[in-house]
Amino acid sequence: MTTLDARLRDVRTRRKALVPYFIGGLTADWTTYVSAAILAGADVIEVGVPFSDPMMDGPVIQAGALRALANDVTLESICHDVSVASFEVPVVVMTYYNVLHHFGLARSAELLAASGVAGVIVPDLAIEELTPWREVATAADVATVLMVAPSSPIDRVRRIGALTQGFVYAAARMAVTGRAADVGDAERVVTSIRTVCDTPTYVGIGITTPDQASDAAAFGDGVIVGSALVQQILDGASAQDIEGSISTFREALDRTAPEA
């Protein structure tokens, strides 16, 4: 069991987890937004490593990633910023396999661990090709978080449940990230995960409003909120503005009691 597994199982006993997503290096002071989110009640922080050719990022996060890349942001610079900030809650990095492979798998895992990163989401890394990365990451105590899609058959969900660490990312819809009108297929996806493992399960992709977060938390262990926050920052929101937004999500989740 990784450190992230233990931390998130503890969170589950107390409340629904709130996981805001930020793009590393989107602004020069991007870590101040993260600190504001933690102050407002975030339980985990997801940090996106900007990449030029993403598979699951919608237009908002793509726009943010391109802005960050124009600022010469790299995996190393993001890890440096995370290390200096020394956040009080776990940080999970979302990146694409090309970044890890180019930098070197063992070297990437060591860098992430030394920076205080607790886990990694690699959406384009199939479980059939997972072993080389997962072995070096686990050795460094960096959890590998896997995703379950609405299209995943139960046999594949079972394999994912046996391999994921920290939490399971339950994709609410077959779509790239972005705003949505509802929680999509989230309940069905979470139900399939519950039949095969007891790992905390967080709903993401399309969680846009506090009400949607509350709806998703009624059957999941937590939610991931991304595009809505990135759009605010792209529009010029301050750290205080983000703190206010996160507070409204925290209040909505706190109305949903954790499962016994």
Closest CA to 250 of 39, 30, 32: 39
CATH code where residue 126 lies: 3.20.20.70
CB environment 150-171: b (16+ within 10 A), e (fewer): bebeeeebbbbbeebbbbbbbb
**Is residue 29 one of the residues assigned to a domain?**
yes
How, if at all, do strands 201-204 and 222-225 pair?
Answer: parallel
The secondary structure of the chain in percent helix, strand, coil, rounded to multiples of 5, reads 50, 15, 40
Gap between the Cα atoms of 208 and 215, Å rounded: 11
172: in domain: yes
The count of domains in the chain is 1
pTM of this prediction? 0.93
Q: In which domain, by residue range, is 165 found?
A: 3-254
Query: Is 260 part of a structural domain of the chain?
Result: no
The pLDDT assigned to 135 comes to: 97
Is 84 inside a domain boundary? yes
Q: Is residue 207 part of a domain?
A: yes
Say if CB 256 and CB 210 are below 8 A apart.
no
Report the candidate in 180, 185, 177, 166 with the shortest Cα–Cα distance to residue 61: 177
Q: Kindly state whether residue 187 falls inside one of the protein's structural domains.
A: yes
Question: What residues are annotated to the active site?
Answer: 46, 57
| CA angle (166, 60, 223) in 5-degree steps | 30
Q: pLDDT tens track of the chain, all 260 residues?
A: 899 999 999 999 999 999 999 999 999 999 999 999 999 999 999 999 998 876 666 688 889 999 999 999 999 999 999 999 999 999 999 999 999 999 999 999 999 999 999 999 999 999 999 999 999 999 999 999 999 998 899 999 999 999 999 999 998 754 444 444 445 678 889 999 999 999 999 998 878 899 989 999 998 999 999 888 999 999 999 999 999 999 999 999 998 766 54
Q: Rounded to an integer, what distance in angstroms lies between the CA atom of residue 212 and that of residue 201?
A: 16
Q: How far apart are alpha carbons 235 and 173 in whole angstroms? A: 26
Give domain status of residue 220, yes or no: yes
Other residues' Cβ atoms within 10 Å of the Cβ of residue 121: 25
Residue 259 included in any domain: no
